[in-house]
Chain A
Amino acid sequence: MTSGIIYDPSYLMHEQSPTHPERRERLSYTLDQLEEEGIFDIPEIKLIRPKPARRDDVLLVHSLEYLKFLEESSINGGIIDADTYVPKNLIHDALLAAGGAICAADAVVNQQVKNAFVLSRPPGHHAGRSNGAGFCYLNNIAIMTRYLQRRGLRRIMIVDWDAHHGNGTEEIFYDDPTVLFCSVHQYPFYPGSGRIEDIGIREGKGYNINLPIPAGSSDKVYRYLLEELIIPLAEEYMPDLIAISAGQDNHFSDPLTGLALTAQGYARLMQEICIIADSICYGRIIAVLEGGYSVEGGLPYTNLGLIAAMAGMDISNIREPEGYQKLLLQSVSEDAFPKVVKMVADLKEKLTSHWYFLNRSY
């Protein structure tokens, strides 16, 4: 079955200010790479045009006051925080990004495609119920998750691998056992949250899992987290769909973060998640673009690698060119791995009463 790419040239329109790093060439260059690779001629790939989200879709997640604030500041512009302005007409771009995620949900649920990648802007995972933050306005993946549940899916697992903690998504589902939120992020780092202690409250306790990792964490760290926690969690939780907050700002060439994942590491991560999704939820995966600012470096072929993995294509040539090897060596820290092993052990202890697999003696 095919993979969907949700994209529209309007996703290039949003601009906070002329020098803001969350900008259109994040997507233009990826689109250049996809076009150069002939991706849209491949029968396994289906290009889907998004439609804007409706107000009642947004209100499944956000408060009416906040939505009104965005609508009103979209008329003359406004400010949310030091890095997040509300440019004029923002609400159109924000609704189209959330709408892209909803179109992906429909395409997967209606079995038009097996999985989908939403190549949208602006991103969403820092946006909470009633506030925007960190370049985000509407929480696209959260809106999509509620929409999927309205369409009959019960449990959704969200894997947020963006370099920054998905604090908005965490807040929205913190007390909800029907959504297993699992975030891997650089720590300490913006936005400051994402400690292992924060495992959810009330019925949602045990369903919020933070995996903070130090700067310099490489492919090896991500693979370890996948094998030790993410895959066992998925197997026990048995979600109806795996949603991925796909931030490609962990790539070692990203100028805003300090992580050291390679394009190949990303593609393998996606491939593994595809395998687990095939075995537990009919392969249903929706990846929604979050961060990723290495527009001059690895972002285009990293995004390509993710799409290739989702479409079941050969990813062996998703690699780093010779010219980037030095930067890669400088970015990887050997100290990171032992720290992560310790962190995982501590986290497992906090989760033992919530997950059976942590109590197995073999």
Chain B
Amino acid sequence: MFTGLDIGGTNTDIAIIDSEIKTHKIPNTSGLSTALKKAGSSGRLVVSTSQPLNEILTGPQFNIRTITIPGPGLVYSGAIKGAVSHRGDIIEPIDTEEVKSLFKGPHPYAVAISGKFSVRNNSLEEQVCDVVSEYLDPEQIAVSSHIGALNFPARIKTTQINARIKPKVNALNNLIREVNADFFYVTSTGGLTSPDRALQNPSLLYHSSPATVANGAYYLTRNENCLVLDIGGTTTELIPIAHGKPIFEDVIIDGFKTLIKSVKTVSIPYGGDSCIRETLCPFRAGNARSFGGGEPTLTDALNVSGARIGDDDRSHVIDKKIADNIVEQYLITVSSAVKKFKPGIIIGTGYLAHYLLSEISERAKTTGIVPEHAGSANAVGAAVSRISILGYFHVDTEKKRMTMNGKEYPYYATSDDEELLAHAKNIIRDVARADGAPEEDVEDVMIQFFSSYEVVRGWKVAAKITDILLSIAPGISVEAA
């Protein structure tokens, strides 16, 4: 049994997949615990959390202290002593007293620790973390090596984001574990991650809904090439799918590049809860009237034009002509955006898809499908996704050192590229298995990057250095398929 739970802006969607698919919608006002109880405790539970985490990131600023260990190179703020070389050697130790002195005044909300080349050797970051642990709790400290990619400035930014959302992820972990210990989160690329790895790199969970919807739309229709049109409460998202996969892009936050990958979408700022004030407004001012709100919204306009969504009697506060115009305005905006993709087929998801998709596809001169359970495609997508992992390996035959995302693993003596690659693949498979991935899902390990060369000293080969980036790609779990 697979259960998916998507915490949205207004409601929490639940999909329970067994021999058939059952879906539920729980208003967020009744609390996450209620939704968790409804999801039950049998089988695997997958949670998509992008809404609460996005809220934190767009909300008020917290006092996050940034500590960087840049060593030689460009100038970074928050710098302390210490350096790791490009080869992963410690070429300058940290000064423990210097780290302690940072905590003489009032303590910050959380601390973000980033060391240059920490993905090749995380020990300086860990040493700083140990010192900081004397002042703060573990969930208030984020270190950068778990992010597992080169690009120090982007890793600093991503670690700051991690520090900001880590307490929330920790609280969620505790809350969900009470109900179901066998649970995962959906990441921004649509793969699953264990709660422990999510705590190490909480940014994995950022903006997961487009990926979740994409997986759900694919699972429900098996269309490999299409445009998913997800009509939500506040926005309408256009998500192109090619060869069964959405397109990924780097996330920019506050103008800074991060190391978060997310699904590329075109976002139109109108959805079912967009309020009507003379015209359709690109914001929400509460629920639709048919769901107990005060101001009429696009959903109410649809009811006035003939639909029956929620308590549709409450919607009749606007003139039929105005309502028709409002709906028309929405249809024109969305269908002209759809046309730009020239899609062969569009798949509608979200609770308004049934009412709007045929009009949109007609205007965009294409075919539209609204699958069964389209209203909970997000929760379905969460339920059926599979565990995905990205591992950055650095191997040095002279130092007899092998690290994955900066963490040291037992050294494996070989100078053969194929043998080493096979060994690294097994390590990443073991990590995925330990997280709970079934055997079939860990078979395919993708080589994202491979580079290997010999270090020569005095005309002799002194070492062989290998960098490997491996991934178990996101997608639909074999078990759910």
Binds B, one of A119-127, A238-246, A320-328: A320-328
A317 and B92 alpha carbons, distance in the complex (Å): 14
Could you say which residues of chain A place their CB within 8 Å of the CB of B457?
255, 296
B168 contacts chain A at the CB level, 8 A cutoff: no
Residue of A nearest to B72 (CB): A301
Contacts A321-B71, A322-B91, A324-B91 aside, 13 further interface pairs with beta carbons under 8 A come to: A18-B454, A18-B461, A19-B454, A19-B460, A21-B456, A21-B459, A23-B456, A29-B86, A36-B86, A37-B74, A41-B257, A313-B74, A317-B73
Contact assessment for B92 and A323 in the assembled complex, using a CB-CB cutoff below 8 Å:
yes
Number of interface residues of A (CB under 8 A): 36
Cβ < 8 Å to A, chain B residues 444-462: 451, 453-461
B153 contacts chain A at the CB level, 8 A cutoff: yes
A321 and B76 alpha carbons, distance in the complex (Å): 16
Cβ < 8 Å to B, chain A residues 178-202: none
A138 contacts chain B at the CB level, 8 A cutoff: no
Residue of A nearest to B463 (CB): A296
A41 and B90 alpha carbons, distance in the complex (Å): 27
A37: contacting residue among B81, B85, B152, CB under 8 A: B152
Which residues of B are interface residues toward A (Cβ below 8 A)? 70-76, 79, 81, 83, 85-87, 89-93, 116-117, 150-154, 257, 451, 453-461, 465
Given contacts A32-B150, A33-B86, A320-B72, contact A38 B257 (CB under 8 A): yes
Contact assessment for B152 and A38 in the assembled complex, using a CB-CB cutoff below 8 Å:
yes
Contact assessment for B454 and A36 in the assembled complex, using a CB-CB cutoff below 8 Å:
no
A317: contacting residue among B70, B91, B453, CB under 8 A: B70
Contact assessment for B72 and A38 in the assembled complex, using a CB-CB cutoff below 8 Å:
no
Enumerate 25 A-B pairs (CB-CB under 8 Å) in ascending A order: A18-B456, A19-B459, A23-B456, A28-B453, A29-B86, A29-B87, A36-B151, A37-B74, A37-B152, A38-B152, A38-B153, A38-B154, A38-B257, A41-B257, A255-B457, A295-B455, A298-B72, A301-B72, A316-B75, A317-B73, A317-B74, A318-B72, A318-B73, A322-B81, A322-B91
Given contacts A19-B461, A33-B86, contact A24 B453 (CB under 8 A): yes
Which residues of A are interface residues toward B (Cβ below 8 A)? 18-21, 23-25, 28-29, 32-33, 35-38, 41, 255, 263, 295-296, 298, 300-301, 304, 308, 313-314, 316-324
A301 and B74 alpha carbons, distance in the complex (Å): 9
Contact assessment for B72 and A263 in the assembled complex, using a CB-CB cutoff below 8 Å:
yes
Contact assessment for B74 and A304 in the assembled complex, using a CB-CB cutoff below 8 Å:
yes
Could you say which residues of chain B place their CB within 8 Å of the CB of A21?
456, 459
A320 and B154 alpha carbons, distance in the complex (Å): 24
Residue of A nearest to B461 (CB): A19
Contact assessment for B83 and A321 in the assembled complex, using a CB-CB cutoff below 8 Å:
yes
Contact assessment for A317 and B72 in the assembled complex, using a CB-CB cutoff below 8 Å:
yes
